Amino acid sequence: MTWLWAVLGGYGFVVVVMFLAQRSLIYPAASIVPRLADHHLPALRAVETEPETGLRITHWYHPPAGDLEPLIVVFHGNGSDLGNAVEKMRPFIEAGMGVLAAGYRGYSGNPGKPSEEGLSADARSLLDWASAEGYGRERLVYFGESLGTAVAVKMASERPPSAVVLEAPPSSIADVAAAHYWYLPVRPLIRDPWNSLARIASIGAPLLVLHGERDPVVPIRFGRKLFDAAVEPKQAIWHAEALHTNILNDPDVVEAVQAFIRAR
């Protein structure tokens, strides 16, 4: 029986370590601080918000080409940053649309430590900024990437936009974590579940889901699960070759997303 206690003790140790380390796994923030000048977009500038007293978060903003063009609020994934978000949106900027890339605490040189509560506060402060700048619901489009889809869904359930685009969305972080760490009691221990499945039906804005059949990070079954729970009007592009968050490398998908946004 000694071996059994050793196995149980080792398993318990792994559970404790993973519980304590979970936020470093969910939010693997890069140490690189992106620079505006590297993107060669003269109108691109940084804006700051203060979601909490004394905590200032930097976001990036490129204005739309005209007064009627949409503003795409981009919530990037947990392995990305402001620079990558802007590059992903470059075709939309070139098409005249505005881009407002959300900065997160702990990312892109911002202070603070990320959490579901913290990133939600950062996103709300950015939407407050957009509202103060005169952007009403009819011009706002939320674009979420991977973990950022959970931020987009949460914000859309609270502050409806004119349309929502979700790229490689998890139904919940708990679902994805349980799939990858099936041998651990993930669900009762996860601190930031980001449960989009519980919120998606409350979104009445037109929805477009993008997901790659070969996604190894967020398997497509979770994107389909979220899409099935959403209400109309909704559309989906299930891409046979795309991996995780690279579906916009396909020009046909970019064109389809732009058409969806124009038709909102």
CA 144 to chain centroid: 4
Tokens of 190: 């996860």
pLDDT of 12 over the 80 cut: no
What's residue 28's pLDDT? Answer: 87
16: confidence class by pLDDT, cuts 50, 70, 90 = low
- Min mean pLDDT across 121-125, 191-195, 206-210 is at 191-195
- Residue 156 or residue 178, greater confidence: 156
- Residue 22 or residue 164, greater confidence: 164
Residue % of the chain over a pLDDT of 90: 81
pTM above 0.85, yes or no: yes
pLDDT of 13 over the 70 cut: no
Contact 160/203 with Cβ under 8 angstroms?
Answer: yes
Name all domains of the chain by residue range, CATH numbers in brackets: 63-262 (3.40.50.1820)
Contact 114/139 with Cβ under 8 angstroms?
Answer: no
Residue % of the chain over a pLDDT of 70: 92
180: confidence class by pLDDT, cuts 50, 70, 90 = confident
Find residue 48's DSSP bridge partners. 58
55 three-class SS: strand
pLDDT of 20 over the 80 cut: no
Separation between Cα atoms, residue 256 and residue 181, nearest integer Å: 35
80: confidence class by pLDDT, cuts 50, 70, 90 = very high
pLDDT tens-digit series, residues 247-262 = 999 999 999 999 999 9
pLDDT of 5 over the 60 cut: no
Residue-averaged pLDDT of the chain: 92
pLDDT tens-digit series, residues 206-218 = 999 999 999 999 9
What's residue 9's pLDDT? Answer: 59
Question: Which residue's entry shows tokens 């000048």?
Answer: 37
43: confidence class by pLDDT, cuts 50, 70, 90 = very high
14: confidence class by pLDDT, cuts 50, 70, 90 = very low
Residues 6+ apart with CB under 8 A from 180: none
pLDDT of 19 over the 90 cut: no
What's residue 188's pLDDT? Answer: 78
Residues 6+ apart with CB under 8 A from 126: 49, 57, 59, 73, 100, 102, 103
What's residue 22's pLDDT? Answer: 63
What's residue 202's pLDDT? Answer: 97
Q: What is the CA radius of gyration of the chain?
A: 19
Q: What is the mean pLDDT of residues 167-188?
A: 86
DSSP secondary structure code for residue 201 in this structure: G
